[in-house]
Amino acid sequence: MNVIINARKVIYFSFIFCKRERVIVMLDYYFAVILITIMIMVVSLLQLSENKTFSRKTKENFTTIAILIILGAFCEFCNVRYDTYPGGSKIIHGIIKAIELSVAPIIPIWYVRIIDHLKNDKIPKFISNILILCNITFQVLSIFVPFIFYIDDANVYNHGNYYYIYIVIYITNIFIFIIEFLQYTKRYQMRNLKSLIAILCFLFLGLSIHWINSDIRTDWLVVGIIFTMFLVYYSDLSLKVDALTDLLNRNSYQFILKKLDYRSIIIIFDCNNFKEVNDTYGHLIGDDVLKIIAKEIMNVYSKYGYCYRIGGDEFAVIFKQGVIDNIGNISNFIEGLNSKFSSSLDEYDQDRFPLQNGVSIGWSVFEGIYGVNSRDENYIDSLVKGTLRNADKNMYQNKQDNK
């Protein structure tokens, strides 16, 4: 009997020791994960400080997100540590957890502030603000009474009966983020859309790992990696877009011309006597004129092609692949679009749009690449340049007709 009792004691204490060692190993591993997450944020902040293309406001918003991620990751680590110390303060433990659960749903909405898409859209902005305030209120309440979470007598964090409210708020904010950024990419003619979709898939995969198995605590590491991915995504997109008009810029235009191998239409726009607008009304009014022209080009042509600002007062449209194949009479179709564009400019009064001679337009059809020379870059370049010369020739003829 004594042998059996002693054997049970050995097994029991061995189990306790192994369990304790497992906790220690997990904590050491988790410390490394948190340390890596914080270092990712520090390196990203250093790169952000050296960025010369972002505005001050954009840098401030990115910096705020990085600080929120560091704060959330640190609080979760402290919470995990507190779970292993029964003698700790339940109030301090609750405050730490409340901070972490308050920070997480704010991050998706702060990304939206970077693109500034909600500034004139009061309903989504109101909804997101209400959700954030409600979540913070619920988390503070949970420090004192079981609601979203509670700290038990052993000083261990547990989900409360209404934890699902936090999940709903978090997921809702993520969906607001997704919707706004899809609108954002649409505004920039769906450039880098594949990258954005890949980032979102990585986000859901990373977060779902912890939701499926709570012992795998990599959610803040995932959020930190998403931050760096999104920083690269936003930086790359900003390099493709004209800062004044929000159209694709000259670099994007040159890039697509080098890769153009499908049947397409190239349209060239040039403002008539634009210098007179700057000389008479000033460059600020001149900038407003360019913004109006860019806006109407997007309204009329973006359904069919990519829209570019290729010079000071010059714009271009290159039709997307396959669009021209669904057009019957190409000449009538293009002239109809051009007429609609010119009419849209006529609707502006002279105070807002003092470009009285309008915009000259020329276009030409690029027949695509066929035959044995289809892989010859010089051959492709010569065909594209020929199309551009025809479009320029037609545009200058239109300019002469306007005079």
CA 108 to chain centroid, in Å, comes to: 10
In one-letter notation, the amino acid at residue 191 is: R
Closest to 302 measured CA to CA, from 286, 315, 313: 315
Q: Summarize pLDDT for 349-387 with one digit per residue, the tens.
A: 877 788 877 899 999 999 877 654 555 566 666 778 888
Domain positions in the chain: 2-232, 250-402
CA distances from 211 to 35, 50, 247 (A): 22, 36, 41
CA 41 to chain centroid, in Å, comes to: 18
Helices (H), 241-376: 250-259, 274-281, 283-301, 330-346
DSSP for 129-179 reads HHHHHHHHHHHHHHTTSSSSEEE-TTS-EEE-TTHHHHHHHHHHHHHHHHH
Quote the CA–CA distance of 97 and 84 in Å, as a whole number. Answer: 15
250-402 belongs to CATH 3.30.70.270: yes
Quote the CA–CA distance of 207 and 349 in Å, as a whole number. Answer: 52
Give first-to-last CA distance, the chain, whole Å.
114
Closest to 314 measured CA to CA, from 385, 401, 392: 392
Quote the CA–CA distance of 391 and 385 in Å, as a whole number. Answer: 10
Quote the CA–CA distance of 371 and 93 in Å, as a whole number. Answer: 72
**List of residues 6+ apart from 53 with CB closer than 8 A:** 235, 238, 239
CA distances from 252 to 117, 131, 227, 259, 390 (A): 23, 39, 25, 11, 21
- Consecutive 10-residue averages of pLDDT for the chain (403 residues): 44 39 57 90 92 86 95 91 78 94 93 67 72 94 94 90 93 88 76 81 84 81 92 84 88 87 91 87 90 93 93 92 88 93 88 82 84 55 83 84 68
Q: What is the pLDDT of residue 379?
A: 61
CA 306 to chain centroid, in Å, comes to: 19
Q: What is the pLDDT of residue 23?
A: 45
Where does 2-232 sit in CATH, by number? 1.20.1070.10
3-state class of 364 per DSSP? Answer: strand
Cβ atoms of residues 96 and 78 within 8 Å: yes
CA angle 12, 18, 23 (to 5 degrees): 130
